[in-house]
Amino acid sequence: MNSVEVKSKVSMGALFKNQVVRTILLSVFFLQIGIWVRNYAILLYVIEKTNENPVAVSLISVAEFAPIFLFSFIGGTFADRWKPKRTMIGCDLLSALSIFIVLLTLVFGSWKMVFFATLVSSILSQFSQPSGMKLFKIHVEEDLIQLGMSMYQTIFALFMILGPIIGTLVYQHYGIIVAIGIMGVAFLLSAAILFLLPPDKEVEKKEVQTTFFEEMKAGFTYVLNKRSLMLLGGCFIAAGLAIGLTQPLAVFLITERLELQKEFLQWLMAAFGIGMILGGGITMAASQKTSAQMLLTIGLGISALGFLVMGLSTGLWLTLAAQFISGLVMPCIHIGINTMILQNTEESFVGRVNGILTPLFMGAMVLTMALSGFLKETLSLVIIYELSAFLLIIGMLFVVPLLRRQETVQQSEN
């Protein structure tokens, strides 16, 4: 066994000995069960109740994604003001309470309250998620953060495959009442697990008390004055524009480029999901030897190649291979970004930085998702996919200065 393998095993052991890491990962596992059952059970329920009304179906997505724009920075600011353990437990308990209120209204009242369940839990996640990032910053050693983020992302990748299956099976076999009950129990289990976290440390009171809006302003100033975060913001925007441009058009790869039935789209999604699961494991293994900057650069570069091939391909197996490779490197992008945010941000600003950068990605993605249909009417599918690849390369260029700086630091240390 060489020294790298020994170091990797030691690091993995040290990470699992960290109570905060174990607790957060187990909490996230139950949260993902609740979220995916929520997403698919409610979606199928609304489709059934409205006879596939597209407006009603789209409102599910609005309830799920709108809070990211409206509450991400607000939640991040409060995450920096509040105690993280208490915030996360409170959010999970409130999510469970909202779920059980919806359950009662389904039994005795209107079915339309299911939108409320999605909206409330999505809003509360904007307060809980940055608090979890803050706990990583506080309790996880600097050299273990990237490995911890790898394990965190692997759970998300696993549920990209299992989540839709679980949500669909629960609804089809047991109905919406049981599905919503499972959501509530999942949130309660997550809250119960979070009680195992170490107590929140007492924050020293500032001599001069700052208001909520002053802290929001300080968050923007912090990002604007930090070059590494500004470059990450540019990367977020470019990647969001690229992904949003092609996400609604994947079905046309099947029907137009491959000339197959639209049902073949499920195999395209499966190839991506399997790639993500394998990529999470590979990235976890490589995280001890590869910097976050390099992971992000590799992820964006290979994703650009994948989009290029998907746009040009007219063969099913080549398209599936390109989609699989894109999924394989997607964890590199997520892990690289999350690690770099934590490495380049002071503890007191983690929530606000996360709250500023996340909407940049989501906003850019939603913008090009809205435009993609119109672009499809004037441009060919090939051009749109090549444009997406070009945007990913631009995103990679934003990371290159950070990669060079990191290499310079390593050389000076050696």
CATH code where residue 177 lies? 1.20.1250.20
Would residue 153 count as lying in a domain? Answer: yes
CB 105 within 8 A of CB 113: yes
* Confidence (pLDDT) at 4: 44
Is 219 found in the same domain as 263?
A: yes
Judged against a pLDDT cut of 80, whether residue 13 lies above it is answered with no
Is 353 found in the same domain as 322?
A: yes
* Confidence (pLDDT) at 190: 93
Would residue 210 count as lying in a domain? Answer: no
Mean pLDDT over all residues of the chain?
82
Q: pLDDT confidence of 6, banded at 50, 70, 90?
A: very low
Candidates 241, 271, 238; CA nearest to 254 is 271
What is the span of the domain harbouring residue 60?
13-196
Would residue 204 count as lying in a domain? Answer: no
Candidates 274, 260, 277, 365; CA nearest to 313 is 260
Q: Find the mean pLDDT for residues 97-101.
A: 85
Is 330 found in the same domain as 254?
A: yes
Tell me: the pLDDT tens digits for 318-366? 999 999 999 899 888 888 888 888 888 888 888 888 888 878 887 888 7
Would residue 202 count as lying in a domain? Answer: no
Q: pLDDT confidence of 306, banded at 50, 70, 90?
A: very high
Is 391 found in the same domain as 281?
A: yes
**Model's pTM, two decimal places?**
0.74
Is 159 found in the same domain as 236?
A: no
* Confidence (pLDDT) at 109: 63
Q: Find the mean pLDDT for residues 36-50.
A: 81
Residue by residue, DSSP assigns 236-300 as HHHHHHHHHHHGGGHHHIIIIIS---GGGHHHHHHHHHHHHHHHHHHHHHHTTTS-HHHHHHHHH
Candidates 226, 258, 257; CA nearest to 357 is 226
Tell me: the pLDDT tens digits for 149-208? 778 877 877 787 788 888 888 888 888 888 888 989 999 999 999 998 888 776 555 545
Judged against a pLDDT cut of 90, whether residue 5 lies above it is answered with no
* Confidence (pLDDT) at 330: 86
Is 397 found in the same domain as 255?
A: yes
Is 83 found in the same domain as 47?
A: yes
Q: Regarding predicted confidence, which is higher, 44 or 409?
A: 44
Can you read off the two tokens belonging to residue 139? 């309790």
Is 175 found in the same domain as 259?
A: no
Q: pLDDT confidence of 11, banded at 50, 70, 90?
A: low
Judged against a pLDDT cut of 80, whether residue 113 lies above it is answered with no
CB 369 within 8 A of CB 315: no
% of the chain beyond a pLDDT of 70? 89
Is 160 found in the same domain as 27?
A: yes
Q: Find the mean pLDDT for residues 293-304.
A: 91
Would residue 141 count as lying in a domain? Answer: yes
Is 169 found in the same domain as 314?
A: no
* Confidence (pLDDT) at 385: 92
What radius of gyration, in Å, describes the C-alpha atoms of the chain? 22
Is 153 found in the same domain as 266?
A: no
Would residue 341 count as lying in a domain? Answer: yes
Domain termination residue (choose one: 163, 196, 229): 196
Beta carbons within 10 angstroms of residue 408's beta carbon: 10
Q: pLDDT confidence of 408, banded at 50, 70, 90?
A: low
Domain termination residue (choose one: 147, 164, 196): 196
| DSSP code for 110 | -
CB 165 within 8 A of CB 302: no
CB 355 within 8 A of CB 219: yes
Domain termination residue (choose one: 166, 196, 226): 196
CA distances from 131 to 2, 85, 260 (A): 38, 7, 45
Beta carbons within 10 angstroms of residue 346's beta carbon: 10
Would residue 201 count as lying in a domain? Answer: no
* Confidence (pLDDT) at 7: 47
Q: Regarding predicted confidence, which is higher, 176 or 61?
A: 176
Would residue 205 count as lying in a domain? Answer: no
Tell me: the pLDDT tens digits for 214-262? 888 888 888 889 888 899 999 989 998 998 888 778 878 888 888 888 7
* Confidence (pLDDT) at 12: 66
Is 174 found in the same domain as 40?
A: yes
Number of domains in the chain: 2
